[in-house]
Structure 1
Amino acid sequence: MGIHKVRVVLTTWGSRGDVEPLVGLAVALRELGAEVSVCAPPDEDFSVLLGRIGVPLVPLGPTVRSVVANPKPPTAKDAFHLAPALVAARFEVLGAVAKGSDVVVATGLMPAGARDVAENLGIRYVYACFHTFGLPSRHFAPGMRPGTPSPEGETDNRVLWQQDAQRVNDLYGPALNSHRAALGLPAVDNVRDHVFTDRPWLAADATLCPSEGMTDLDLLQTGPWILPDDRPLPEGLAAFLAAGPPPVYVGFGSMAAYAPKDIARIAVEASRAQGRRTVLASGWAGLTSIDDDCFVVGEVNHQALFRRVAAVVHHGGAGTTTTAAVAGAPQVVVPLIADQPFWAARVAELGIGVAHDGPTPTVESLSAALAAALAPGVRDRAAAVARTIRTDGATIAAQLLVDGV
């Protein structure tokens, strides 16, 4: 009798911050002898990312760039087109890939359809998230979601979360229940809670993202799923870093439609006002600069780079916040959407950086935030917190999956 090899299907739809943790988990799973498939958006960036570990990308849905990397943010109408398309893609793609597998792990933008495919195949399903922001809670109100807004003046969080569930039903319910009916499965009346399950996994560090009392659900916190990165920094960047004091890193990731207007110039001038050079990440917004004291980078090893900068200015994605925290780099978070204000608040509460007031910095406001973040006490605090952050979350999660927990 041969030993059964655990087969795991990982799936997401979202930006790099949704994809890279799954790649980190895939590495850990394979180290334990599991077989892994990854179903993700067919963006070239993600194919390259998975190519680094030798796992092919199974394309699911449209590219993320086609939805978010436009001059204007997606509209509610866009969301109502995208939601049923993603549900259909999950039934089709996961329905084929997950046959013969043991477990489906889903994350990213409301992965309606993943649990249903697992249910139809009689295999396990795990929903994982990278923060507690979207999970029902008595302690805070839900975030914005396309659909009918809650009435002005409504303050009861329980009522607000019920209305959030209805918005999810409106977005995903008709398509989900249509596909379920085609498989002979009964209808689901609360899509959000069905997707989340009673015991979601939280792939975030307990210091950065404490879970105690944050949600009414029974969270299993594994720690963040970090993809190990031993790539050397590009020669030009290494030379720039060596040519002077540590610069300030500025990057807004995939926030193309939301990046603050003129942020490249503002960031360079704000850094200069603090006597610092700038490393500017072009990201999906295509940020660029022609200043001699600024070096523009594409996709590089952030784990290595963040250990060599004076501060990290970013949008407050879960991945960037965690990477900067592990590196012990002071942070300035300019939160734009979704969970980003939460991470900005945590960075400020922990004393490892500064939350910029609002999403549209000026040279003056960003310079002031940088001055505060560059204070010696903040770097000392960031270094102290860095030593507390767990980096083995992917291994913990992989072991749980292999053990069938």
Structure 2
Amino acid sequence: MKVVIITGGSRGDVAPYTGLGARLKAAGHDVAIAAQESFAGLVREVGCEFRLVPGDTRAMLGSEDGQRWQGRGTGTLRAMKTNIQMGMRLLEETGKGVVSAAEGADVLLLHRTALWHGYLAAGAMGIPAVGLELFPSVPTADFALPSFDVRFLGRWGNRHLPSLAMGVTSHVRTPLDAPIRSFQQQLGLPQTGLSEVRRRTVEDENWTILHGYSPQVVPRPADWRPGVEVVGYWWPPAREDWRPPRELTDFLEAGPPPVFIGFGSITRRDTAELTETISAAMRRAGTRAVVQAGWSELSAMGDDVLAIGDTPHEWLFPRMAAVVHHAGAGTAGAGVRAGVPAVPVPIMGDAPFWSRRLAGLGVSPGYVPMNELSAERLGDLVRQAVTDPAYRQRAAELAGRVGAEDGPARVIETLDRLPPRFGRR
């Protein structure tokens, strides 16, 4: 079976699908992964065919609009204009690559950035498709969705606010409708706009959505419809030829376990100020630290701090006393897998959701949003995470349960049950 995974965005939006792709290949499938050009090497390293999706997320996040987006978050009225502008750009870029990426596929597996275009293209091209989400995507009374982060309306608001919002926008055209309507016209489909497509992906009982995180971390809500499941993490494959640099191993051996600090694909321009805040926080906490450069190109200051580049989380995190990160889905999951306490510093998107969840699970003493970050707040949380053994104990117990799961196997089972290509609908 020719399986095409279509994704976009940052490294955290691509890496889980390389692990899934490798498992699908081991199960006998022919796998292609469509992503932005900067991730071609990541895809080819696991033996999958690379297909191009237009766009450059790093450049977008580094732009003036991208900086405003990260500075304001994604869940406030103040950020609405920037959200619309960035949303239009993502939709337009994704739409340019979905049809060509899907050529020759027997099945499409779709990440959020390609979900709506992929859903439409699959129907028009007669290809079975499955949505693959990295955070909760279907409304439930249990919690507010990360994309509708409004917590004061209670269970009724949690369940109905997304549907109400989609219902309102279906009667009011927004700039986000334009690229979807253009894509529908390209495929010869009725031009309904974005809100109607979103509604259909949520309600269509023939449309399967699999969530790639552990039910131990976020259990499947009982009010989700059949076909919407939580299956477990899709871990990036281990890099068998990777060896830690001598400087890193010497640093680890020279003292007690350090704290990891890294913000992944988040792009910040205030690097010097952020570096000083981190250094002061570690001095306040009395801990050593390993600082990962990431897309913000963080550096390190002090004898007890080491700056590192790209280092596999599955190797590094278990050797840490705690992990300080931006709480993206993949990094949050990697911390859970490693069984170490976490101190999230959420910035945007789904990060506040995972930050609250880690605290609720008892593996984190709390979190501090990036736009409220101070050496005092970060240092105090890190000290608490490192010195209170209850956090590590709970983290280790959770890691044991999560480690027993096999998320890719659930995807393979779903593919085995799909109908063959069925012609245009």
TM-score range for the pair, normalised by the shorter chain length: 0.7 to 0.9
Whether 2:55 is the aligned partner of 1:55: answer no
Q: Name the aligned partner's letter for residue 165 of structure 2.
A: Q
Q: 1:352 to 1:85 in 2, by over 3 A?
A: closer
Q: How far did residue 246 of structure 1 move? A: 0.5
Match of 1:365 in 2: 377
Q: 1:161 to 1:183 in 2, by over 3 A?
A: closer
What fraction of aligned residue pairs are identical, expressed as a percent? 28
Match of 1:238 among 245, 249, 264: 249
TM-score by length of 1: 0.87
Cα separation, 2, equivalents of 1:159 and 1:382 = 33
Q: 1:159 to 1:345 in 2, by over 3 A?
A: closer
Secondary structure at 2:33's aligned position in 1?
strand
Match of 1:219 among 200, 205, 228: 228
Task: Extract unaligned runs of 5+ from structure 2.
Answer: 70-78, 420-425
Whether 2:10 is the aligned partner of 1:7: answer no
Match of 1:281 in 2: 292
Secondary structure at 1:208's aligned position in 2?
coil
Report if the CA contact (8 A) 2:368-2:378 is conserved. no
Q: How far did residue 298 of structure 1 move? A: 1.4
Whether 2:116 is the aligned partner of 1:112: answer yes
Match of 1:135 in 2: 138
Match of 2:342 in 1: 331
Match of 1:65 among 39, 46, 58: 58
Whether 2:178 is the aligned partner of 1:178: answer no
Report if the CA contact (8 A) 2:363-2:391 is conserved. yes
Cα separation, 1, equivalents of 2:111 and 2:68 = 22
Cα separation, 2, equivalents of 1:276 and 1:28 = 38
Report if the CA contact (8 A) 1:334-1:355 is conserved. no
Cα separation, 2, equivalents of 1:153 and 1:326 = 33
Match of 1:382 in 2: 395
Q: 1:123 to 1:144 in 2, by over 3 A?
A: closer
Cα separation, 2, equivalents of 1:27 and 1:259 = 37
Cα separation, 2, equivalents of 1:11 and 1:64 = 15
Match of 1:250 in 2: 261
Match of 1:19 in 2: 14
Q: Name the aligned partner's letter for residue 129 of structure 1.
A: E
Match of 2:72 in 1: none
Whether 2:332 is the aligned partner of 1:321: answer yes
Q: Name the aligned partner's letter for residue 188 of structure 2.
A: G
Q: Which moved more, 1:32-41 or 1:74-83?
A: 74-83
TM-score by length of 2: 0.83
Report if the CA contact (8 A) 1:135-1:215 is conserved. yes
Cα separation, 1, equivalents of 2:138 and 2:177 = 18
Q: How far did residue 22 of structure 1 move? A: 1.0
Cα separation, 2, equivalents of 1:358 and 1:312 = 15
Q: How far did residue 219 of structure 1 move? A: 1.7
Secondary structure at 1:266's aligned position in 2?
helix
Cα separation, 2, equivalents of 1:96 and 1:347 = 39
Cα separation, 2, equivalents of 1:81 and 1:363 = 33
Report if the CA contact (8 A) 1:13-1:111 is conserved. no
1:292-349 Cα shifts (integer Å, max 9, x gaps): 2111111111111001011000111111111111111111112222211111111111
Q: How far did residue 179 of structure 1 move? A: 2.6
Report if the CA contact (8 A) 1:136-1:216 is conserved. no
Q: 1:92 to 1:68 in 2, by over 3 A?
A: closer
Cα separation, 2, equivalents of 1:41 and 1:7 = 20
Q: Name the aligned partner's letter for residue 130 of structure 1.
A: L
Match of 1:121 in 2: 125
Secondary structure at 2:365's aligned position in 1?
strand
Cα separation, 2, equivalents of 1:86 and 1:270 = 36
Cα separation, 2, equivalents of 1:313 and 1:82 = 27
Report if the CA contact (8 A) 1:173-1:191 is conserved. no
Cα separation, 1, equivalents of 2:349 and 2:199 = 19
Cα separation, 2, equivalents of 1:160 and 1:219 = 17
Cα separation, 2, equivalents of 1:10 and 1:160 = 27
Q: How far did residue 252 of structure 1 move? A: 0.7
Q: How far did residue 162 of structure 1 move? A: 2.1
Q: How far did residue 221 of structure 1 move? A: 1.7
Cα separation, 1, equivalents of 2:3 and 2:270 = 36
Q: Name the aligned partner's letter for residue 348 of structure 1.
A: A
Whether 2:53 is the aligned partner of 1:39: answer no
Q: Which moved more, 1:81-90 or 1:118-127?
A: 81-90
Report if the CA contact (8 A) 1:138-1:215 is conserved. no
Q: How far did residue 119 of structure 1 move? A: 1.1
Task: Extract unaligned runs of 5+ from structure 1.
Answer: 1-5
Match of 1:398 among 389, 408, 412: 412
Whether 2:104 is the aligned partner of 1:100: answer yes
Q: Which moved more, 1:80-89 or 1:311-320?
A: 80-89
Match of 1:3 in 2: none
